[in-house]
Amino acid sequence: MPLTRRFEVSYLASNGDIDEFQRVAPATPLFEEAFSALGRGALISTVDGLTAVEDILPGTLVETANGPKPLLWIGSMTVFPESGELAARAPGREPQKMLRIATDAFGFGRPAPDLMLGPKARLLYRSAACTEAVGAEEAFAPARAFIDGVSVIEISPMSPQKVWQLCFEGQQTFYVNGVQVESFHPGLKSEAMHDREMSALFLALFPHIDRFEDFGPMDVPRLTAFELENLRAA
């Protein structure tokens, strides 16, 4: 049986109210990717200014590449140090690490100030070289693929760290400390990759969603870390 962890959800109900709940679910990539993009203090660009991720509420109009979009869902979980009992119970499990991006690492104000990301964040990469790989000049790539040991570094948490992710209607590019981050989307083939029971457990964490198709379109393709490395080396 897979390890389990506690996930926290806040969402915009159909009547406009904000509802919250906590649930224990499998600690598998399907679930963890939906909850682990942003570290505490990450500043989200909204129509009313910058808001820390830990303070943002469903219904907030968030600035995206497609204009202001209402935040429908925000989820969080806790990343624990990979040692002791957890490591013993999950031999071979890839440690979950945070990422710190130094101020101006990607250009002036990108980010500003330093940005702490969770282990499953994806960042927008724009280059003409992307066209050959994915048919578009921009794509999302795992944030860990940008690690250079200087301005983008990997951090092993010494204490529990809470991490968050946002969900809108469809895949969105939103702005965090001036950096373009991908909102949560399970991908276009997620349902086919999981059995019915696991899919039902996952969808229950998204009360505004009935089917995987309801997550909406994906307008921006994705690159793997390996594909990004090859593009940047070319």
| pLDDT tens string 7-41 | 999 999 999 999 999 999 999 888 999 999 999 99
Q: What are phi and psi of 117, to 5 degrees?
A: -115, 155
Q: What is the pTM of this model?
A: 0.91
pLDDT, the chain, mean? 91
Q: Is residue 191 predicted with pLDDT exceeding 70?
A: no
pLDDT at 84 over 50: no
- How far is Cα 185 from Cα 120, in angstroms, rounded to an integer? 12
Burial 130-157 (b: 16+ CB within 10 A, else e): beebbeeebbbbbbbbbbeeeebeeeeb
Q: What angle do CA 24, 70, 180 make, to 5 degrees?
A: 85
Query: So what's the pLDDT on residue 124?
Result: 97
Output the pLDDT for position 85: 46
- pLDDT bucket at 96, cuts 50 / 70 / 90: confident
User: Quick check: 144 pLDDT over 90?
Assistant: yes
Q: Write b or e for each residue in 23-57: b if 16 or more Cβ atoms lie within 10 A of its Cβ, otherwise e.
A: eebbbbebbbbbbbbbbeebbbbbeeeebebeebe
pLDDT at residue 88 in the model = 44
Longest pairwise C-alpha distance within the chain: 51
What one-letter code names the amino acid at 13? Answer: A
Q: What is the mean pLDDT of residues 204-214?
A: 93
Average pLDDT of span 112-118: 98
Give the model's pLDDT for residue 2.
Answer: 66
What pLDDT does 83 receive? 60
